[in-house]
Amino acid sequence: MTYYQKYHVPAGTFQVNARKPLILQAYLNSCVGVALFDAEAGIGGLYHILLPEPVSHKSEYNREKYAATGLPLFLGHLVREGADISRLQAVIAGGALAGKVSNQDIRLDIGGRTAEVVKEVLGKHGIQVALSETGGFFTCCLNFNLETFDYEVIPALLSDEQEVDDTTHGRISKLDDIQPIPQVALKILRMIDEDAYDIHNLSQEVRKDQVISAQVLKYCNSAVFGGQGGIDSIDDALLIIGQTSLAKIVTAMAVKKLLNNSYTGYSLAKGGLYHHAIGVALVAEKIAALSGKASPFAAYSAGLIHDLGKVVLDQFVSGARPFFYREIMGENDLVETENRLLKTNHTKAGLKLAQKWDLPASITNTIRYHHTPDDAESHRELVTIISVSNSLFHMFSASPSLHKVDMNSLSRRLEVLGMSISDFPAIVDAIPHQVLSGSPELAIT
């Protein structure tokens, strides 16, 4: 295997070289990256462009900053090194509206205009564009291999590279942009994990979070409880529905907020991720009770949050691959497909966020290993429960799904739980009918 050194091309500069084992990289938000190469002559380069054109005569001093003035310099350099303009091929990436987007950003659309200027200049020289992936809302990384002249554009958040300053390149900031899970839910998750469940503490915590309190009361006064109303404090709710139900509703409401912030890359409709989460949580709770291999409440909460990584990936998917869902409809394995198309998968992306939020190990392991429970580092039985519940939910729920169930691995996983395929009727029977008929929220309590 060849070892490739990497060189980060800073914004407003370009790098041109003859063929050698080196990977040129540019991390791009609104900046546009252009790789140009003449494979026959063995000359290539990468240019990291900041802006479309100079705003005043003064800025002429910095010609490399601008597409309009810098691209001719880049081309000139390639030709001097031996490239032939008629043989050049181009790869263009970036020009996104990354980070927090204001109306001003959309109006200015600096990235979009830079990409336009690039295409205009390349067009004028009759240069063929081999790949153009511009726009969207995400930081990407353009890699250009100076030895093989291979190139790839990958979402930068998902790159495994750690040596780049994350804040400058906006990579971790995408994780920061994801609204954190409410404190109260985090505390409940920790209490469950430590098996130190303190009801006094719980209701106090719930009261501190006005948004969650209001949602819990709304839920308690809804049709689920006969729609009679009259529950107007958390203390009332506690008295009427009990502590476990209250904790279940609080975590569900917290996760709902998180999942419903997602776009539609991973589900056919808004709310699809939440619907799936509740369904898996409720199936997991039943399997935990039937198998006795985990606390039902722990299984419920792990089920709620198992696909956290989809929230992370969804941000990329909706902006950069709006047809992602359709692209993968016919595929057999979601994780494999994600690896191929996105260079990562929702279990890895979820792990990053779970670690950042310092979620307990039971949850972190579930997030990372629910598609490969045999690899779980700890809490293997809990992770297996979620894995089985995920499969069952997909098999029996009315909603369309991407997940194809492999019966062999399902029966192996049931064995880990001391169960077998012959327990199927009992398991399915224990699942509340609302879960499978499309309104799982009704079955929380």
Q: Minimum distance between the CB of residue 281 and Fe ion, rounded to whole angstroms? A: 10
- Quote the CA–CA distance of 346 and 158 in Å, as a whole number: 10
In the list 267, 390, 391, 397, the residue contacting Fe ion (rule: CB under 5 A) is 390
Residue nearer to Fe ion on the CB measure, 206 or 388: 388
CB of 307 vs Fe ion, minimal distance in Å: 4
Smallest gap from residue 389 Cβ to Fe ion (A): 9
In the complex, minimum distance from the CB of residue 173 to Fe ion, in angstroms, rounded to a whole number: 25
Min dist CB 312 to Fe ion, Å, is 12
Pick between residue 37 and residue 266 the one whose CB is nearest to Fe ion.
266
Question: Could you give the angle at the alpha carbon of 351 between the alpha carbons of 23 and 321, nearest 5°?
Answer: 60
Q: Which of residues 200-239 bind Fe ion (CB under 5 A)?
A: none
Residue 209 or 338: the one with the smaller Cβ distance to Fe ion is 338
The minimum distance between CB 390 and Fe ion, in angstroms, equals 4
Q: What sign has the CA pseudo-torsion 359, 365, 369, 370?
A: negative
Are 297 and 247 contacting, i.e. CB atoms less than 8 angstroms apart? Answer: yes
Residue 205 or residue 307: which is nearer to Fe ion going by CB?
307
Using CB under 5 A as the criterion, what x/- string covers residues 57-96 for binding Fe ion? ----------------------------------------
Our CA angle for 303, 305, 311, nearest 5°, is: 135
CB of 115 to Fe ion, least distance (A): 34
Q: Which stretch binds Fe ion (CB under 5 A): 59-67, 115-123, 305-313, 426-434?
A: 305-313
Tell me the window of 30-38, 49-57, 232-240, 302-310 that interacts with Fe ion (CB under 5 A).
302-310
User: What single-letter amino acid sits at 7?
Assistant: Y
Query: With respect to Fe ion, which residue has the nearer C-beta, 390 or 397?
Result: 390
- Which span sits near Fe ion by CB under 5 A: 108-116, 190-198, 231-239, 306-314? 306-314
| Separation between Cα atoms, residue 131 and residue 227, nearest integer Å | 57
Count of positions on this chain that bind Fe ion (CB under 5 A): 2
| Minimum CB distance to Fe ion, residue 416 (Å) | 18
Stretch that binds Fe ion, among 108-116, 132-140, 301-309, 414-422 (CB under 5 A): 301-309
Residue 357 CB, nearest distance to Fe ion (Å)? Answer: 18
Distance in angstroms (rounded) separating the CA atoms of residues 344 and 288? 30
Stretch that binds Fe ion, among 96-104, 324-332, 384-392, 424-432 (CB under 5 A): 384-392
- Please say which residue, 69 or 384, places its beta carbon nearer to Fe ion: 384
Report if residue 307 touches Fe ion, rule: CB under 5 A: yes
CB-nearer residue toward Fe ion: 16 or 302: 302
- How far apart are the C-alpha atoms of 91 and 108, rounded to whole Å? 24
Shortest separation between residue 245's beta carbon and Fe ion, angstroms = 24
Does 291 sit near Fe ion (CB under 5 A)? no
Rank residues 134 and 347 by Cβ distance to Fe ion and give the closer one: 347
Rounded to a whole number of angstroms, the minimum distance from the CB of residue 280 to Fe ion is: 6
Q: Which is nearer to Fe ion, 285 or 307 (CB)?
A: 307
Residue 220 vs 280, nearer CB to Fe ion? 280
Least distance in Å: CB of 53 to Fe ion? 46
| Stretch touching Fe ion by CB under 5 A, among 95-103, 234-242, 303-311, 423-431 | 303-311
Q: Three-state SS across the chain?
A: CCCCEEEECCCCEEEEEECCCEEEEEEECCCEEEEEEECCCCEEEEEEECECCCCCCHHHHHHHHEHHHHHHHHHHHHHHCCCCHHHCEEEEEECCCCCCCCHHHHHHCHHHHHHHHHHHHHHHCCCEEEEEEECCCCCEEEEEECCCCCEEEEEHHHCCCCCCCHHHHCHHHHHHHCCCCCHHHHHHHHHHHHCCCCHHHHHHHHHHCHHHHHHHHHHHCCHHHCCCCCCCCHHHHHHHHCHHHHHHHHHHHHHHHHHHCCCCCCCCCCCHHHHHHHHHHHHHHHHHHHHCCCCHHHHHHHHHHCCHHHHHHHHHHHHHCCCHHHHCCCCCCHHHHHHHHHCCCHHHHHHHHHHHCCCCHHHHHHHHHCCCHHHCCCCHHHHHHHHHHHHHHHHHCCCCCCCCCCHHHHHHHHHHCCCCHHHHHHHHHHCCHHHHHCCHHHHCC
Q: Which stretch binds Fe ion (CB under 5 A): 196-204, 313-321, 350-358, 388-396?
A: 388-396
Query: Whose Cβ is closer to Fe ion: residue 315's or residue 390's?
Result: 390
CB-nearer residue toward Fe ion: 216 or 388: 388
- Sites of contact with Fe ion (CB under 5 A): 307, 390
